[in-house]
Chain A
Amino acid sequence: EVQLVESGGGLVKPGGSLRLSCAASGFTFSSYSMNWVRQAPGKGLEWVSSISSSSSYIYYADSVKGRFTISRDNAKNSLYLQMNSLRAEDTAVYYCARDVQVDPWGQGTLVTVSS
């Protein structure tokens, strides 16, 4: 069974940093591209970033470009999102999801940016 488990969320002050992790199991992680998607409280879904299976191709939403960095460790079956210069508008549940087609999803981890 495919499992994606996010961790690393929490409360951080504006301007601060946080690193999210996504632990993958139940499939050959190194064969799939991976994604981060977020959802602000009471709002819709927003694609954040994607990384190809070998990390050769990386894409970001304009809203996070220059502040967030996606990476992966295929030996550890793990996906990461380093978030710097955090803003109040980055407050959201962050989901990791597999594949170009963005499925399946993890359960999400909440990031709250507030002073």
Chain B
Amino acid sequence: DIQMTQSPSSLSASVGDRVTITCRASQGIRNDLGWYQQKPGKAPKRLIYAASSLQSGVPSRFSGSGSGTEFTLTISSLQPEDFATYYCLQHNSYPHTFGQGTKVEIK
């Protein structure tokens, strides 16, 4: 099974800050990775697909990069509505696996 190691598990940041979240895969997954945002009581919402493609309707301050085993989600300028938990998901092989999540909190 492919393990996804996501870091950090939480972070505190201020509005306007640049935020970076990382996922490492235990083996190569090409670009078969998505990034999701989840707010309390809501279903996850995909932000990025194929590691670096922006989902339609998602603000351009969100970006993804990486391929193989190292992936990054970047929020260029954190906005109040971005405080949430973020997850990566690899869908290269079964079982699909999520990262442990990163909770982004207000500083």
Contact = CB atoms under 8 A, between A and B. Distances in A.
Interface of A: 35, 44-47, 50, 59-62, 95, 100-108
B73 to A, nearest CB: 15
A44 B95 contact: no
B36 to A, nearest CB: 8
Interface residues of B, number: 20
Given A44-B100, A47-B98, A103-B49, A95 B91 contact: no
A50 B94 contact: yes
B95 A45 contact: no
Q: Which secondary structure characterizes the binding site on chain A? A: loop
B44 interface: yes
Interface in B77-107: 87, 89, 91, 94-101
16 contacts: A45-B36, A45-B44, A45-B101, A46-B98, A47-B89, A47-B96, A50-B96, A61-B95, A62-B95, A101-B91, A102-B34, A102-B89, A102-B96, A103-B49, A106-B43, A107-B43
Contacts of A102: 34, 46, 89, 91, 96
Which residue among B87, B89, B91, B95 has the maximum number of chain A CB atoms within 10 Å of its CB?
B95
Contact of B95 (A47, A100, A104, A106): A47
Contacts of B87: 44-45
Contacts of A106: 43
A100 B44 contact: no
A61 B99 CA distance: 15
